[in-house]
Amino acid sequence: MRRNKNSRVTDAAYDEILREWQNGIYRINLYIILITLCIEIVFMFILNAKGTISVPIPQYIPLYILRPTLINIAAFATCLWLNHRGKISHSVRAMLPLVLLTVVVSNLIVVHYVFSALYATIIVPIYVSSIYGNTKITRRLFYLLMPVYVFDMICILITPGRNLPSEFPYDVLVAFCMIPLSYLLVKNIVEYENKKEQLIMKRSIENDKLREEIKVDGLTEIYNHTGLFEYMDAKIDEYEEGKQLMISVIDIDFFKRFNDDFGHETGNVVLKALANMMQTAADEVPGNEDGQKVLAARYGGEEFSLVFSDMEMNEAVAILKKIHEQFGKQSFPGINRKVTFSAGIAKYEHGMTDQMFFEKADQALYRAKNEGRNRIIVAE
């Protein structure tokens, strides 16, 4: 169906939301790093005051404060640096906050190995990855987490002076099993959400097509009365002082008499021909960022309309005259008389309603008919 050009839908809004979300993950990682640092410092003083500190303070500071904090800050700075580089792929950029979260969680597990509940935090990045709705990202993260967790456990085991709880092997095994199980669960959730989203999009497209079809004239395949006034309302809502907006109202001369003499089928051929000329003329005008500058419509019977935006009155009249001249020269098989139309064209004035705007052009059309038809009148 031929109609005005729809504005292109882009993913700019989605990308902006995703960037905000990623920045939020970076901030959360930074908060975890800072809060962990503060807690370690407070714990150092509390444990030292109680005399229950596991190692002397000169050893505690580099082991529990400096080393994990420096690792976290280095990872944070590296991810931010990579994120701001323009040469990395979208998938790598998406992985960076998840990799950073993995490093932070891994640090927590190694430093605070006595709290077995922390082992389960290794699965947190997998669940966070579900926001992307991309099974590839989740799968890559799963492949990363498995060796990272094994590395964490090795670090805990080989660190001298650490007293491991008796439940340590069981806690490690449970947390290890949770990684693939969490991956499978998130993978299924993502696949389900993607299928649901595809179905919603399909239905949305079908609804959009249906709405468009409702606005299109079945015979001429240009906009109908509903489409015309919807477009006109939109243009009026966007109107600003200094912009130009015109509408022309077109009526085929003596069309009822023509139908009576030659039949409705022949009349339909004439209607289609005029619609085709109008749409062709509209398509020949270069559009702008807001879409098509000329819209063609049939709003009833032998009555047509053209809406012109972002152009001068003389340009709009020139287009209308070109169609008028072309239509007047058009010959139709089995028709032994000239077929013409009359038209009125009006300029929008601030404060007009759509009906007032249309009536202004319609009054100009009425004048054209009274003055002998087969002419174009510009409303005063």
Encode pLDDT of 4-21 as tens digits.
Answer: 433 334 456 767 777 888
Instruction: Tell me the mean pLDDT in the region 271-280.
Output: 95
Domain 225-378 has what CATH class? Answer: alpha beta
Residue given tokens 């590296």 in the structure block: 78
- How much is the mean pLDDT over the chain? 87
| Residue 103 pLDDT greater than 90, yes or no | yes
**For 26-63, what is each residue's pLDDT tens digit?**
898 899 889 988 988 998 888 888 887 777 888 888 88
pLDDT band at 289 (very low <50, low <70, confident <90, very high): low
70 has a pLDDT exceeding 90: yes
- In 3D space, the residue among 353, 334, 332, 346 whose CA is nearest the CA of residue 252 turns out to be 332
Over residues 175-186, mean pLDDT: 94
List Cα–Cα distances, 241 to 28, 96, 207, in angstroms.
47, 48, 35
User: CA 70, 74, 76: angle at the middle one, nearest 5?
Assistant: 115
Q: pLDDT at position 210, please?
A: 72
> What pLDDT is stored for residue 200 in this prediction?
83
More confident residue, 292 or 79: 79
Residue 288 reports pLDDT greater than 70: no
What local confidence, expressed as pLDDT, does residue 305 receive? 96
HSE value, Cβ hemisphere, 13 Å, CA-based, for 62: 3
> How do the domains of the chain map onto residue ranges?
12-203, 225-378
Q: Which of 306, 257, 311, 303 is nearest to 279 (CA)?
A: 306
* Total Cβ atoms within 10 A of residue 143: 10
The pLDDT-based confidence of 101 (bands split at 50, 70, 90) is very high
